[in-house]
A and B are shown apart, each in its own frame.
Chain A
Amino acid sequence: GAVVSQHPSWVICKSGTSVKIECRSLDFQATTMFWYRQFPKQSLMLMATSNEGSKATYEQGVEKDKFLINHASLTLSTLTVTSAHPEDSSFYICSAPLDRSWNQPQHFGDGTRLSIL
């Protein structure tokens, strides 16, 4: 089945550091990937839609200069949290559908636990 790999799974860093998270589709090409953030005991909140070869589209309230998204190939999207602060600590998850058909399920990575000290 379709597999999405996310790396790293866990990162701890100091406030002010920039952190890059990778999301790879291992056995299919993903022209679109989605990035979510999840706080403890809360739902997944969509942050942005990553499009191969074009700019990402961000949900309302998400700072595009804070969360840089690059989708340079059909199998890789990256999310960079720039100048991270403790309030950015969260569980970041990416997903990709097999294609853009209206009813495709999402295939999720296993998430990245980001802790900013």
Chain B
Amino acid sequence: SQKIEQNSEALNIQEGKTATLTCNYTNYSPAYLQWYRQDPGRGPVFLLLIRENEKEKRKERLKVTFDTTLKQSLFHITASQPADSATYLCAPPMFSGGYNKLIFGAGTRLAVHP
């Protein structure tokens, strides 16, 4: 079955540094992949989408890469700020029953310290 793996350990970094989060997937080949941010007690918020033919996507301080050979996506936050502290979820889709259903990883909790 399809499996999404994110580093379940919390990532602690110093303000101003670059945070790099990893998402690995197995047993399927998604055409694209989405990244979301989730704050405690809230629903996820969409950040970026990257297609299989795109190696890299940027949005302000965020950068996502997608390596279909390694079956891996990396999510980078440059010049990190304490406000970036949250859980980040990787979500490739699975087409099933006529719908693109997102399969979520467990998420990586990022803590940015002043």
Contact = CB atoms under 8 A, between A and B. Distances in A.
Interface of A: 4, 6, 32, 34, 36, 41-46, 49, 57, 91, 93, 95, 97, 100, 102-111, 113
A74 to B, nearest CB: 16
B51, B95, B100: residue with the most chain A Cβ atoms closer than 10 Å: B100
A107 B89 contact: no
Contacts of B51: 103
Interface residues of B, number: 26
B99 A43 contact: no
CB-based closest 3 A-B pairs: A108-B43, A105-B46, A43-B106
B44 interface: yes
A105 B57 CA distance: 15
Interface of B: 4, 31-32, 34, 36, 41-46, 49, 51, 89, 93, 95, 97, 99-107
A93 B36 CA distance: 14
Given A103-B32, A108-B44, A49 B101 contact: yes
Contacts of B102: 34, 46, 106
A46 B101 contact: yes
Given A105-B46, A105-B49, A57 B97 contact: yes
A49 B96 CA distance: 11
A32 B102 CA distance: 13
Nearest to A46: B101
A91 B39 CA distance: 13
A103 B51 CA distance: 9
A104 B42 CA distance: 20
B99 to A, nearest CB: 6
Contacts of B95: 102
Contacts of B34: 105-106
B31 A6 contact: no
Nearest to A103: B32
A104 B49 CA distance: 9
Contacts of A106: 34, 44, 46, 102
A108 B101 contact: no
B43 A110 contact: yes
Given A43-B106, A105-B34, A111 B101 contact: no
